[in-house]
A and B are shown apart, each in its own frame.
Chain A
């Protein structure tokens, strides 16, 4: 893909092209891997596609259900019963036909993750469980691909950008703790939208090398009291990321 923008692309991105420090060509050449297109992934992929990320790979093995529609804004009543990645592909290509969208209709596993994420500039978290996040975390460290983490539950959401060895990793922070099994995720539909949109913003800034704010930080958003706490996270010396 040539980095040069066509006149159609210049029209499409006009309102952002002249924002200070913006680099549309960098976005056009970027390759982003999105793990999961549920609530978080719906919001992040929508904005990433709209922003003109050249290649977006979406991976999810799930089928759209009616219960997803309070928050998974890529889908509609007509999507029910269909694979999420196919519906997401349809919606995102309608939004922006100038970009390339690749899909994997399946879940990330120990077997496929290494091949799938190979060659991508950054990984975006749209997952709904700790096990797959740990798997993705390990592989992102091995391959040196930054990992834009996000998660939600109740009124709260978390977000960070992990990029060891320079920063802490997912396991450095979440090494302790049992989860009270709250399945499925219970959230106000707008919450994953907010976190997913900030993930997209942080990914875009990372790709253009603009103030990589979320590196080494963890944002805790409590929507109930409109509070954004941004806390510094340090590497855990006992974490396995120090050995990888």
Chain B
């Protein structure tokens, strides 16, 4: 199945987008969590504070469905 991962700011370079400035197309198998998918891409899940898809927060143990677009957010703490 195919999912799309998006990331801005500091995570973007780790994600290495290939669809557009923010988005990477990822081929993966069903049943894997975001955490596992990130690990398989060589991205340390510890650099993700939270993820969201379809207007709601997803934890890293969320198991994506075919065609999902998931935005990854790094921890941000400036003020």
Contact = CB atoms under 8 A, between A and B. Distances in A.
B67 interface: no
Contacts of A140: none
Given A154-B10, A155-B8, A128 B79 contact: yes
B79 A185 contact: yes
Given A174-B50, A176-B48, A224-B8, A185 B55 contact: no
A180 B47 contact: yes
Nearest to A39: B79
A218 B79 CA distance: 17
Contacts, number: 106
Nearest to B22: A225
Of the four ranges (under 10, 10 to 19, 20 to 34, 35 or more), the interface on chain B belongs to: 20 to 34
| Best-buried of A40, A41, A157, A182 by chain B (most CB within 10 Å) | A182
Contacts of B50: 173-174, 176-177
A156 B57 contact: no
Interface residues of A, number: 46
A153 B48 contact: no
Interface of B: 8-10, 22, 44-50, 52, 55-57, 59-60, 71, 73-79
Given A127-B79, A236-B59, 4 more contacts: A173-B49, A179-B77, A180-B10, A232-B57
23 contacts: A39-B78, A41-B79, A128-B79, A154-B8, A154-B9, A173-B49, A173-B57, A176-B48, A176-B50, A177-B46, A177-B50, A178-B46, A178-B47, A192-B78, A192-B79, A220-B71, A220-B73, A225-B22, A229-B52, A231-B56, A232-B55, A232-B56, A236-B59
Interface of A: 36, 38-41, 125-130, 133, 150-158, 173-174, 176-180, 182, 184-187, 192, 218, 220, 222, 224-225, 229-234, 236
